[in-house]
């Protein structure tokens, strides 16, 4: 088993007949971390002064777990395509799929009724760009209301004297981020997942106000604030395959 580094900060993990490429990141942290995203991208993060031998030992120790994660996400891989915003397509909202129906109307309106996302448009139904504009505006409005509601409920699980503000930003590989004690960030596409997944991400980031790193103390605290979070995390990872 060996590791090799190229200029793009990607390495190869070779163990027996298996070869995996992974992103390699050195940063200010105390521990090594290995993650696999729903699109099967592998990332290793480690302290700046980590010895190569320690990295090799860590990867070897994690090999079985890595195989398991790749197999898990591999079951849910599917061909991705850009939404066309035409009748018949489906969109996730709060964890459930809803069929899109676009109809010509004398006013612009989007309504969710009995599992159908009805778009009434003043433009031709073939104008997918305008339909996308209407659907996006509807999701943005719902997202702002739902995120604010869940944040108000979840923050009551903590006894912090001062709470951070909530903001929304598109992120490539994460659902949420703890920016500072003044702000946490949520991915806008969380609105496509279920409420318990949104709650989990909020609680996870709020836990970082007390514990910065993902160490034993952090997860003990997370267990206290969000029991059985592992099952919710698994559900969230599956949503990631479909909506991220």
Per-residue pLDDT at 148: 97
Element (H, E) at 52: helix 52-61
Per-residue pLDDT at 165: 92
> For residue 46, is pLDDT > 50?
yes
Per-residue pLDDT at 21: 82
Question: Region 210-236: what's the mean pLDDT?
Answer: 92
Compute how many other C-beta atoms are within 10 angstroms of the C-beta atom of residue 176: 20
Band the pLDDT of 171: cuts 50, 70, 90: confident
Mean pLDDT of the chain: 87
State the pTM of this model: 0.70
Residue 147 class from Cβ within 10 Å (0-12 exposed, 13-18 middle, 19+ buried)?
buried
Q: Are 40 and 21 in contact (CB under 8 A)?
A: no
Q: How far apart are CA 240 and CA 122, in angstroms?
A: 33
Q: How far apart are CA 95 and CA 193, in angstroms?
A: 4
Band the pLDDT of 7: cuts 50, 70, 90: very low
Question: Region 128-150: what's the mean pLDDT?
Answer: 97
Band the pLDDT of 244: cuts 50, 70, 90: low
| 122 contacts: CB under 8 Å, gap ≥ 6 | 104, 105, 106, 107, 108
Q: Which tens digits make up the pLDDT trace of 114-137?
A: 889 999 999 999 999 999 999 999
Residue 200 class from Cβ within 10 Å (0-12 exposed, 13-18 middle, 19+ buried)?
buried
Per-residue pLDDT at 78: 56
> For residue 75, is pLDDT > 60?
yes
Q: How far apart are CA 127 and CA 81, in angstroms?
A: 19
Residue 75 vs residue 174, higher pLDDT: 174
Per-residue pLDDT at 241: 60
Band the pLDDT of 68: cuts 50, 70, 90: confident
β-bridge partners, 91? 98
Question: Region 198-208: what's the mean pLDDT?
Answer: 96
Q: How far apart are CA 140 and CA 168, in angstroms?
A: 10
Element (H, E) at 10: strand 10-15
Domains and CATH numbers, the chain: 2-64 (no CATH), 90-141 (no CATH), 148-243 (3.30.2010.10)
The long-range contacts involving 112-115, CB below 8 angstroms and separated by at least 24 positions, are: none
Instruction: Provide the sign of the torsion angle of the four alpha carbons 206, 214, 229, 234, taken in this order.
Output: positive
> For residue 196, is pLDDT > 60?
yes
Band the pLDDT of 209: cuts 50, 70, 90: very high
Q: How far apart are CA 138 and CA 109, in angstroms?
A: 9
Band the pLDDT of 238: cuts 50, 70, 90: confident
Residue 99 vs residue 2, higher pLDDT: 99
Residue 53 class from Cβ within 10 Å (0-12 exposed, 13-18 middle, 19+ buried)?
exposed
> For residue 18, is pLDDT > 80?
no
Band the pLDDT of 240: cuts 50, 70, 90: confident
Per-residue pLDDT at 6: 38
The angle at the Cα of 42, spanning 229 to 58, to the nearest 5 degrees, equals 85
């Amino acid at each position: 088993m060996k590791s090799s580094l190229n200029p793009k900060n990607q390495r190869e993990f070779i163990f027996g007949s298996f070869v995996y490429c992974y992103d390699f990141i050195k940063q200010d942290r105390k521990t090594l971390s290995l993650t696999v995203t729903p699109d099967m991208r592998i990332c290793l993060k480690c302290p700046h002064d980590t010895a190569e031998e320690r990295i090799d030992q860590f990867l070897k120790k994690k090999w079985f777990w890595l195989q398991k994660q790749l197999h898990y996400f591999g079951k849910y891989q599917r061909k991705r395509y850009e939404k066309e915003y035409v009748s018949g397509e489906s969109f996730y909202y709060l964890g459930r799929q809803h069929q899109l129906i676009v109809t010509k109307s004398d006013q612009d309106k989007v309504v969710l009724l009995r599992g159908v996302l009805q778009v009434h448009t003043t433009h031709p139904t073939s104008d997918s760009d305008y339909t996308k504009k209407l659907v996006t505006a509807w999701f943005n409005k719902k997202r702002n209301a739902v995120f604010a509601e869940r944040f108000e409920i979840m923050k009551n699980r903590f006894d912090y004297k001062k709470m951070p503000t909530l903001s929304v930003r598109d992120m490539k590989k994460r659902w949420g981020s703890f920016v500072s004690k003044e702000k946490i960030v949520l991915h806008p596409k969380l609105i496509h997942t279920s409420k318990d997944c949104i709650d989990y991400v909020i609680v996870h980031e709020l836990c970082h106000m007390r514990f910065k790193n993902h160490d034993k103390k952090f997860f003990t605290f997370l267990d206290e604030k969000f029991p059985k979070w592992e099952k919710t995390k698994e559900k969230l990872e599956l949503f990631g395959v479909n909506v991220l």
